[in-house]
Each structure stands twice: as C-alpha cells, then as structure tokens.
Amino acid sequence: RADNFARLSNVSIKDLRDPKNAELFDFTLAAGKSAFGDNCATCHGTGGQGFDGYPNLNDDVWIWGGSFKDIRHTLHVGIRAGHEDTRTNSMMAYGRDEILSKAQIRDVASYVYKLSGQSGHGYDYVDLAKGKTIFADQCVSCHGDTGTGDREQGAPNLTDMDWLYGGEIDTIYNSIYNGRAGVMPNWNERLSPEMVTALAVYVHALGGGEYESDTQ
C-alpha cells in the first residue's frame, strides 16, 4: 500500500488510465471508494447520487469543473471552507437583504423558471419582461447573458433541468430571496495528498468525469 500511495504523489489521470498501470488504477479506485464511504457518502449518498443541496456526482453537470484536475483541486481547497484558497462565490439574499421586493423576486423567479424550459410562467400575474430586466441587472454577471452559468465563478447553468436545490418555482423563489451558500470541507487537512488524489480518481470515474483537459 505504501508503494502504491507513493506512486500517486505526482500522477496524471492519463497515466492512471494507461493499461500498463491497470493494477495501480484498480488500487486507486478501491482506496478512493473507501475514502468516499468514510467521508463523502453522508452528504452525496453511497453511490454519489446526491440530495437536495448536495450535488450528484454521477452526471456531467459540474459547478466548478469536472476534469480530474478540477475535482482534485475542489477536494483540496473545499467550497466556502477554511482553506485560504477555497472556492467561493456569493449568491446574494435578494429578499432577506431587501435588494429586491417580493414582487420583483416573483418576476425574476418566473423568468428563471422559463429559462430552464419548464412549461408555464411560474407564478401567475407576473411580468416576465420585468423579470428579464431584473435578471440582466442582477444576475448576468455570474450566470451569463443567457443563463448558462460560469464555472470560473461556480455559477450554475440555469437553462437546463439540473438543479442543486430544486427547480420548482417556490424553490427558485427561496433561492433568490434567501441566497445559497453551501459548504464542502477542504479535505487537505483531513486526508493525505495521495488519498485526496485517490478520492478524485474515484469521483472522476463515477460517470461524469471530463477528459478534455486532463493532462495532469
């Protein structure tokens, strides 16, 4: 085990996927699966399927990027965690902090609801044109002009049906009204660098890992 972990100190996913390293890859997957069960399954589920507020790790929807390098970095620094380089963003509480009125939030929530392709207009008696204007004023800096998101900022794509907290109109309203600020620990203080690598390999292999930029 010590020899195998030592080989993970500076390894790329490309190297691990090389057939000549099949034994090391199998070892790494097993170690990552064990670490996942001990540290991650409580939030993400034993199969990585996720729950409301906890991302599904089996699909190809990634808020901060799904390459091996991205996943390993997220595990290392966490999200809104104690690490000095933690990944962070700010989904403001537009209602609680009185930035927008309830009527304005209903308008923009209905606009976001429509952006995701759901039928209907969300709430009744709303002004989608005003919702679009509010979106342009308050939301495009993170989510983009068309609502497709920005991984550099950890801003989710709002045009699909993949929702971290749920895509029902009342849930969208609550997300805008109260803001969202989920936390994932920075695992570098709890796990060795090699174990973080093994965990990243396991998560990457669950089904949604991306390969285009996996050169290290």
Q: What is the structure's pLDDT at 212?
A: 58
- What is the average pLDDT across 72-82? 97
Residues linked to residue 67 through DSSP beta bridges, in sequence order: 210
Calpha distance 109→128 (Å, rounded): 9
- What is the average pLDDT across 76-81? 97
The full length of the chain comes to 216
Q: What is the structure's pLDDT at 27?
A: 96
3-class SS letters over 44-98? HCCCCCCECCECCCCCCCCCCCCEHHHHHHHHHHCECCCCCCCECCCECCCCCCC
Question: Higher confidence at residue 201 or residue 212?
Answer: 201
Token pair 């969202």 in the structure block, residue:
180
Question: Is the predicted pLDDT of residue 216 greater than 70, yes or no?
Answer: no
Calpha distance 147→118 (Å, rounded): 14
Chain segment 90-147, per-residue pLDDT in tens? 999 999 999 999 999 999 999 999 999 998 778 989 999 999 999 999 999 999 999 9
Chain segment 6-16, per-residue pLDDT in tens? 888 888 888 89
- What is the average pLDDT across 19-36? 96
- The pairs formed by 146-149 with CB atoms below 8 angstroms and a separation of 24 or more are 147/112, 147/115, 149/63
Token pair 């709890």 in the structure block, residue:
190
- The pairs formed by 103-110 with CB atoms below 8 angstroms and a separation of 24 or more are 104/130, 104/134, 105/173, 105/176, 105/177, 106/173, 107/131, 107/134, 108/134, 108/135, 108/138, 108/139, 108/176, 109/169, 109/172, 109/173, 109/176, 110/169
Confidence at 166, pLDDT banded by 50, 70, 90: very high
Q: What is the structure's pLDDT at 213?
A: 53
Calpha distance 196→83 (Å, rounded): 15
Chain segment 54-74, per-residue pLDDT in tens? 999 999 899 999 999 999 999
